[in-house]
Amino acid sequence: MKTTNSFSLNFFIKKDKASKGNAPIYVRITVNGKFVDMSLKRRVKMDTWEQDDQKVTGNSPEARDIKEKIRQTKTEINNAYDELRFNKELVNAEAIKAKVEGIDEEQTTLLWLMNYHNTEIKKLLEDGTMKNYFTTERYVKEFLLKKKKRHDIYLSQLDYKFVVDFEIYLRQREPDKNQRPCANNTVMKHIERLRKMINIAVKNEWLIKDPFLRFERKIVNKDREALELEEIENIKGVKLDKDGQRIVRDVFIFSCYTGLSFADMCLLNNNHLVTDIEGEKWIEMIRHKTANFSGKKFFVLLLPEAIELINRYRNHPMAGYTKTIFPVFSNQATNRYLKAIAKEAKVDKKLTFHIARHTFATTITLENGVPMETVSGMLGHASLRTTQIYSKIKKKKVSNDMKVLRERLKQA
């Protein structure tokens, strides 16, 4: 369906900016009732300007220069309007002004903004985080091409509808081969990453109005999966043939007893091990995830199981080469080994270092009476609210506690 844009130009002088009888000349570009003013970079004597005819009187060199400037500006604006329509781009006053003023169009577009984020802001983010941003960028490009029939869009053209349309596209998107469809929380994560990039434009005043102003995230809270003590023991006791599997198993168990993430495990070295005046051994380090920001330091008192694993690998040649406490494998190799370990240990859960961290937070600490504030500090969380996602009491603990209560009532 064709759409007809109402389009008009109006040249005028701004008397409130006049100085010594000279006022600047502006042109007002109006498209569909919305306008933007653009300066011609010329001043005119106020008594020579005829507003009804939108022109300057006289034939002096200054008057001829102004007349020519008005003619050129009118031509450039009309050409910009025609070009936008020809390219089937959304026509608005801001887009026309950007073309006429010679503003680098790339610097006013969404793809330019994403490229800026993924090159400049990249220095502050981890590789794993940046990988997710690159995926979001790919989906935005797909959306623009498939749904908007364009390769890029001006920042000034972004609005609430654009955000909602992108959300709908992600929910309905056909997944790539060996890929799952985007679930609700995955969609919201892509939206949130786009929002963070748009926020950079708003803060830098590259974009006047935030298109996310009325948008609400719809996150579905899910229970955090963790291992039971019996499952931990099964993993510890399983017979494994390959050295790589045994190493990864021990590193995973260490994470279950310390709460260290995979990235922190890869960095853990002797400098992070300290002994206090009472002879207790601790891990003291800054979370890899927050190292570029708040530099959140955390402390973990080592349990006997963790100390035993450290001693087991103290003289391991692979650890000596990397100068870390444990031998380091790639994330891909680690996940491959964990999959095989779960199968051998007959654990019907997908083993990841996220699960190991959750296990430390729930099975090892919270369920054994360690206060949430203490757990939050050991996990290196910047906010207690982050730790509260682990605070759901398991049915098993409720059962055990109620059995204890039942026995006490019997004896009363």
Using one digit for the tens of pLDDT, what is the confidence trace for 230-260?
999 999 999 998 999 999 999 999 999 998 8
Residue for token digits 């799952």? 180
Q: Taking the CB of residue 104, how many other CB atoms lie within 10 A of it?
A: 9
Burial of 257 (0-12, 13-18, 19+ CB in 10 A): buried
Contact of 345 with 241, CB cutoff 8 Å:
no
Tens-digit pLDDT profile for residues 103-159: 555 557 899 999 989 888 877 777 778 889 999 999 999 999 999 888 888 888 889
Q: Taking the CB of residue 167, how many other CB atoms lie within 10 A of it?
A: 19
Contact of 234 with 345, CB cutoff 8 Å:
yes
Residues 6+ positions from 346 with CB-CB distance below 8 Å: 234
Q: What is the pLDDT of residue 364?
A: 86
Q: What is the pLDDT of residue 292?
A: 46
Q: Taking the CB of residue 331, how many other CB atoms lie within 10 A of it?
A: 13
Contact of 298 with 285, CB cutoff 8 Å:
yes
Q: For the chain, which residues score pLDDT lower than 70?
A: 1-4, 102-107, 220-224, 288-296, 377, 380-399, 412
Q: What is the pLDDT of residue 394?
A: 57
Tokens of 136: 């979001």
Q: What is the pLDDT of residue 29?
A: 95
Q: What is the pLDDT of residue 286?
A: 82
Task: Look at residue 44 and give its three-state secondary structure.
Answer: strand
Q: What is the pLDDT of residue 205?
A: 81
CA angle 248, 249, 250 (to 5 degrees): 90
Rounded to an integer, what distance in angstroms lies between the CA atom of residue 347 and that of residue 343?
6
Q: For the chain, which domains are there?
A: 7-101 (no CATH), 106-203 (no CATH), 229-402 (1.10.443.10)
Size of the chain in residues: 412
Contact of 281 with 273, CB cutoff 8 Å:
yes
Q: What is the pLDDT of residue 387?
A: 56
> Could you please report the per-residue DSSP string of 34-78?
EEEEEEEEEEEEGGGEETTTTEE-S-SHHHHHHHHHHHHHHHHHH
Give φ, ψ of 300 to 5 degrees. Answer: -130, 120
Residues 6+ positions from 301 with CB-CB distance below 8 Å: 280, 281, 282
Q: What is the pLDDT of residue 76?
A: 93
